[in-house]
Amino acid sequence: MPDYNGQKGQLLTIEEVGKLLYGKLRGNHAKFDPTDASAVPVSLKTQDVFHMTIEEYLHSLISLIEELARLAVNSVTLGDYHRPLEISRFVKDLHAGFQILNLKNDTLRKRSDSIKYNVKKIEDVVYDLSLRNLVPQGTAKA
């Protein structure tokens, strides 16, 4: 079960985001329960109701990657040398997922092109850490 208290980083599926948003909209600040069936609908085309689209979800993932690139740099500034390695692995996995998509949405395709620059930025941080021997040997292969 994912931990949403900032202890463990894990990617939420679009359905999990819908469930989490539903709880926030209802004012329910209790711990997230992935088995709860109530959720914000996902990708509705036949109804005129509040919902979340796949494009919005993908845009949010790109924004997440941009923020994680900033976090990698700031983590080093604060002396946390292991976090950029974790971020690098996670962002590379997301980048691989975006590469297999055939994006038709123009703005989404343009924004997804920026992911490779964020991957490079994070790789540069990890490389600098390894040059300075600030990460244990063997863990710099992110």
**CATH number of 124's domain:** 1.20.58.200
The end-to-end CA distance of the chain, in Å, is: 25
Identify whether 105 is part of a domain: yes
- Give the per-residue pLDDT at 22: 76
Identify whether 121 is part of a domain: yes
Identify whether 137 is part of a domain: no
- pLDDT truncated to tens, each residue of the chain (142 aa)? 234 445 567 888 888 888 887 776 666 655 555 556 566 777 667 777 677 888 999 999 999 999 999 999 999 999 999 999 999 999 999 999 999 999 888 899 999 999 999 999 999 999 999 999 998 666 655 5
Residue 66 shares a structural domain with residue 15: no
Number of domain units in the chain: 2
Predicted model pTM: 0.79
Residue 21, burial from CB neighbour count under 10 angstroms (0-12, 13-18, 19+): middle
User: From residue 34, how far is each of 14, 17, 82, 106, 113 by CA, in Å?
Assistant: 12, 10, 29, 33, 32
How many Cα neighbours within 13 Å face the side chain of 23? Answer: 15
Give the list of residues 6+ apart from residue 109 with CB closer than 8 angstroms, or none.
103
Residue 8 shares a structural domain with residue 23: yes
How many Cα neighbours within 13 Å face the side chain of 96? Answer: 6
Identify whether 28 is part of a domain: yes
- Give the per-residue pLDDT at 2: 34
Residue 29 shares a structural domain with residue 46: yes
Residue 125 shares a structural domain with residue 106: yes
- Give the per-residue pLDDT at 1: 29
Residue 97, domain extent: 58-131
